Chain A
Amino acid sequence: TQLLEQSPQFLSIQEGENLTVYCNSSSVFSSLQWYRQEPGEGPVLLVTVVTGGEVKKLKRLTFQFGDARKDSSLHITAAQPGDTGLYLCAGALSPSGGYNKLIFGAGTRLAVHP
């Protein structure tokens, strides 16, 4: 059974603080996506990382893919109330046929207080 463990589950911080969310698995993924989901809506893609060791930056968000492509992290610098939401990591497995089956973590619910 493929499992993607995401931590922490909940994070409540003050505006301006830094935070890191982790995703860990024993499975090797062909790529890993980070999504953000608002209540009652579908996940919205933030970034895709493909290469082991890859680092991508999106404004105050930094995403890293582990060297072995089994884990990833999301670091937010100087968090703002607008960052509040559910952050999901999803590892892509590629069964024969070339398509990607996403295995999601349980999510990290982030609350940033003014």
Chain B
Amino acid sequence: DTGVSQNPRHKITKRGQNVTFRCDPISEHNRLYWYRQTLGQGPEFLTYFQNEAQLEKSRLLSDRFSAERPKGSFSTLEIQRTEQGDSAMYLCASSAGQASTDTQYFGPGTRLTVL
């Protein structure tokens, strides 16, 4: 399977715990995006990487959130001191970085439940 993969698929945690999610983009895609989707809503942009550089962060990404893409391949999204409001589906997408359309392909997501 050469699509975007995300792990874990589901995470249940208690409020105040830290969690980390991983995204493996499509091979050789140099652009990687994180989105968050809450129930009944469309995904909302969180952050963007070009290779290993994090070039944009949404205001939705509070200081409890940190994302990395250390070698320009896989990425991790960490949430510290989780809150119930963090419960959502966290989606990763990647794109090839080509002109005009630069279509983003999404992974299956990680569903986070904070108790």
Contacts and interface: CB of A to CB of B under 8 A. Distances in A.
A40 B64 CA distance: 25
B107 A42 contact: yes
Interface in A20-57: 30-31, 33, 35, 40-45, 48, 50
Nearest to B99: A98
A88 B100 CA distance: 20
Nearest to A40: B111
B82 interface: no
Interface residues on A, range: 20 to 34
A107 B31 CA distance: 25
A48 B100 CA distance: 10
A100 interface: yes
Interface residues of B, number: 31
Contacts, number: 77
B50 interface: yes
Given A42-B93, A99-B55, A106-B41, 17 more contacts: A4-B42, A30-B100, A42-B106, A42-B108, A43-B43, A45-B105, A48-B101, A48-B103, A88-B42, A90-B43, A98-B99, A101-B48, A102-B35, A102-B43, A104-B43, A104-B44, A107-B42
Interface of B: 4, 6, 31, 33, 35, 40-45, 48, 50, 55-56, 91, 93, 95, 97, 99-109, 111
21 contacts: A6-B42, A30-B100, A41-B108, A42-B6, A42-B106, A43-B43, A43-B91, A45-B104, A88-B42, A90-B42, A90-B43, A97-B55, A98-B97, A99-B50, A99-B56, A100-B95, A101-B48, A101-B56, A103-B45, A105-B42, A106-B40
